[in-house]
Amino acid sequence: MIKDITIGQYVPGDSFVHKLDPRVKILISIVFIVDLFLVNNFKGYIFILLFTLSSIAISKVPFRYIYKGLKPIFVLLVITALLNVLMTDGKVLLFSYGIIHIYKEGVIMAIFMILRLTFLIIGTSLLTLTTSPIELTDGIEKLLSPFRKIGVPAHELAMMMTIALRFIPTLMDETDKIMKAQMARGADFESGNILKRAKNLIPLLVPLFISSFRRADELAMAMEARCYRGGNGRTRMKQLVLTNRDFIASSVTVLFTVICIVSRWW
């Protein structure tokens, strides 16, 4: 399951989505997340589904990557659904047994939360799957550049966020290797209840932290050896330039947002 986490991974390609300006893709992802919480009925989620499936098809990203990204959050989806079903009051009672009361409003809220989390993971995964770390860094830096006037270190923040995203799959692979090494020595991570499994994972933390610090030190030395001095005076081989495809994607996103707003009060 650890290897199924796709956030931070990049799948090279030459699709329409891959060629979009990273700034446009970041803004589209933000607008998509806002639209997810704006929609409050099943009609709106039909448009969300169509938009998501169209984006996946246009990006030409294999569907197995999308499915792998959803597998690790299955338990989270189940817990979220149960909490909303059991803790949401309403007017239409569907089931009652002792202190357990399930209302129609709770079931609807649980379905909405599952859909929101699912589409949220798909949207963020699609951003990283179609955008290289370098492009993502440049896009975030360009979007944060207006805040330099008030002293915000745009380049440093963009670099830190991109490195953090990039190291997610690396740390997951490292965790998987440590688990297999300890299982070969007799460690058990699968038997017992949830609390026991969580307790058994504690021995993973020490070697994982040591490995993380070692990788961070190696990265710092590599950046220093290449005379990295931050964003001041830094030049780029490829300049970010908006093209017709970026305006088309932005126009489609604006139209999609308008549809979501209309569907909310339709």
- Residue 231, phi-psi category: left (phi > 0), alpha (psi -120 to 50), beta (remainder): alpha
Asked whether the predicted pLDDT for residue 28 surpasses 90, the reply is: yes
Predicted confidence (pLDDT) per residue in 68-85, tens digit: 778 777 888 888 888 888
Token readout for 213 is: 């610090």
Predicted confidence (pLDDT) per residue in 129-159, tens digit: 888 877 887 888 888 888 878 877 777 787 7
What are the CB-based long-range contacts (under 8 Å, 24+) for 165-168? Answer: 165/7, 165/8, 165/128, 165/133, 165/136, 166/8, 166/133, 167/8, 167/215, 168/5, 168/7, 168/8
Q: Please name the helix (run of DSSP H) or strand (run of DSSP E) that holds residue 80, with its range, or none.
A: helix 74-87
Asked whether the predicted pLDDT for residue 31 surpasses 90, the reply is: yes
Predicted confidence (pLDDT) per residue in 90-134, tens digit: 787 887 777 888 888 888 888 888 988 899 888 888 888 888 877
How far is residue 51's CA from residue 19's CA, in Å, rounded to a whole number?
A: 18
- Residue 102, phi-psi category: left (phi > 0), alpha (psi -120 to 50), beta (remainder): beta
Predicted confidence (pLDDT) per residue in 1-14, tens digit: 445 556 667 788 88
Task: Say which residues have a Cβ less than 8 Å from residue 70's Cβ, sequence separation at least 6.
Answer: 118, 121, 122
pLDDT of residue 231: 64
pLDDT of residue 1: 47
- R_g of the chain computed on alpha carbons: 22
How far is residue 176's CA from residue 197's CA, in Å, rounded to a whole number?
A: 15
Distances (CA, A) of 125 to 55, 87, 168, 230: 12, 30, 12, 28
Asked whether the predicted pLDDT for residue 253 surpasses 90, the reply is: yes
Predicted confidence (pLDDT) per residue in 32-80, tens digit: 999 988 888 888 888 999 999 999 999 988 888 888 778 777 888 888 8
Which residue shows structure tokens 């020490």? Answer: 206
Q: Please name the helix (run of DSSP H) or strand (run of DSSP E) that holds residue 52, with its range, or none.
A: helix 42-59
Token readout for 89 is: 């009051």
Domain ranges of the chain: 1-131+241-266, 154-234
